[in-house]
Amino acid sequence: MNRNEYMAALRRALSGLPDEERANALRYYEEYFDDAGPENEGEAIAGLGAPESVAAQILNDYRELTVPPHRPETGGASYTAAGEAANSPKRRWRGINPWLLALLVLLAIPVGIPLAAAVGGVLVSVLAVLACIVLVVFIIFAVIPFVLLVCGAAFIGVSFFLWWTPASAVLTLGAGLAVLAIGILVTMLMIKLCTLFIPPIFRGFVAILRWPFDKLRGAMRK
């Protein structure tokens, strides 16, 4: 007996099942043979046994699942809807008692308000420190190069009005060029430092801000 003959015999033996149940059972054994593969077809058939035996077991299981329970005291009479309703467990509200919840809220107020104030104070302090850091970084990376560039340009401009005293004009021009060169170098350095450090710092700051929200989202999913 090969696979096709086995499945045909099983299909005939399961003719007493409803169409949907029979299709599900046949699909299960088709997948069983697919998993075994053509080379193990004989072993799979030997392991399953005769198709009539398999069909008898399936029909028996189906009858046990579909036959309704009976009352012993009524001589096998099936349960009525009223009996099922009477014997079914009553649903109970499993939530917390509203009065107990209100009491817990009242008891938590003396602790919750100072705690919220403390947390708010900590957050304000952290924000203030961050604002100071941002201000210092802005002064270092933006104000100082800008001042050097402006001063250098100003010295160079003033030197053109001092040519009636050549020594002062040359000295002022040299100082302006030197300050302007330092300003350009500092500006280039600050731009390089910004490209290296600002993105990681910004990502870290965003990660710190997102951390409590991620924790809360994970707890809600669980």
Q: What mean pLDDT do residues 69-93 have? A: 43
For 6, 121, 122, 126, the CA distances from 118, given in Å and listed in that order, are 77, 5, 6, 12
**Number of domains within the chain:** 2
Amino acid at the residue 192: K
What is residue 89's predicted lDDT score, i.e. its pLDDT?
Answer: 42
In a domain, 178, yes or no: yes
In a domain, 112, yes or no: no
**Residues 64 and 135 both lie in one domain:** no
**pLDDT at 5 > cutoff 50:** yes
In a domain, 67, yes or no: yes
**pLDDT at 130 > cutoff 50:** yes
What is residue 68's predicted lDDT score, i.e. its pLDDT?
Answer: 57
Categorize the per-residue pLDDT at 217 as very low, low, confident or very high, splitting at 50, 70 and 90. Answer: confident
In a domain, 200, yes or no: yes
What is residue 222's predicted lDDT score, i.e. its pLDDT?
Answer: 59
In a domain, 66, yes or no: yes
Query: Of the given ranges (34-38, 95-99, 155-159, 168-172), which has the lowest mean pLDDT?
Result: 95-99
What is residue 92's predicted lDDT score, i.e. its pLDDT?
Answer: 44
**pLDDT at 84 > cutoff 60:** no
**Residues 134 and 217 both lie in one domain:** yes
In a domain, 22, yes or no: yes
**Residues 68 and 140 both lie in one domain:** no
**Residues 135 and 214 both lie in one domain:** yes
Q: What mean pLDDT do residues 2-7 have? A: 89
What is residue 152's predicted lDDT score, i.e. its pLDDT?
Answer: 86
Query: Of the given ranges (56-60, 103-107, 204-208), which has the lowest mean pLDDT?
Result: 103-107
Q: Which residue has the tokens 């008898």?
A: 56
**pLDDT at 108 > cutoff 80:** no
Is residue 162 classed exposed, middle or buried when 0-12, 13-18 and 19+ CB atoms within 10 A define those classes? Answer: middle
Which of 46, 72, 98 is a domain's end point?
72
6 vs 222 pLDDT, higher one: 6
**Residues 60 and 140 both lie in one domain:** no
What is the pTM for the complete model shown?
0.34
Which of 32, 53, 72 is a domain's end point?
72
The neighbour count for residue 44, using CB atoms within 10 Å, is 17
In a domain, 120, yes or no: no
Categorize the per-residue pLDDT at 184 as very low, low, confident or very high, splitting at 50, 70 and 90. Answer: very high
In a domain, 125, yes or no: no
Give the whole-angstrom CA distance, residue 80 versus residue 69: 11
- For every residue of 61-130, DSSP letters joined together read HHHHHHSPPB-GGGTSPBPPHHHHHHHSPPP---SPPHHHHHHHHHHHHHHHHHHHHHHHHHHHHHHHHH
What is residue 81's predicted lDDT score, i.e. its pLDDT?
Answer: 43
Which of 49, 72, 95 is a domain's end point?
72
- For every residue of 143-200, DSSP letters joined together read IHHHHHHHHHHHHHHHHTT-TTSHHHHHHHHHHHHHHHHHHHHHHHHHHHHHHHHHHH
**pLDDT at 78 > cutoff 50:** no
Domain housing 42: 3-72
Question: For the segment 17-55, what is each residue's pLDDT rounded down to a tens digit?
Answer: 888 888 988 999 899 888 888 888 888 888 888 889 888
The neighbour count for residue 24, using CB atoms within 10 Å, is 12
What is residue 83's predicted lDDT score, i.e. its pLDDT?
Answer: 43
CA dihedral 53, 57, 62, 68 (to 10 degrees): 130
Percent of the chain past pLDDT 70, that is, above it, reads 84
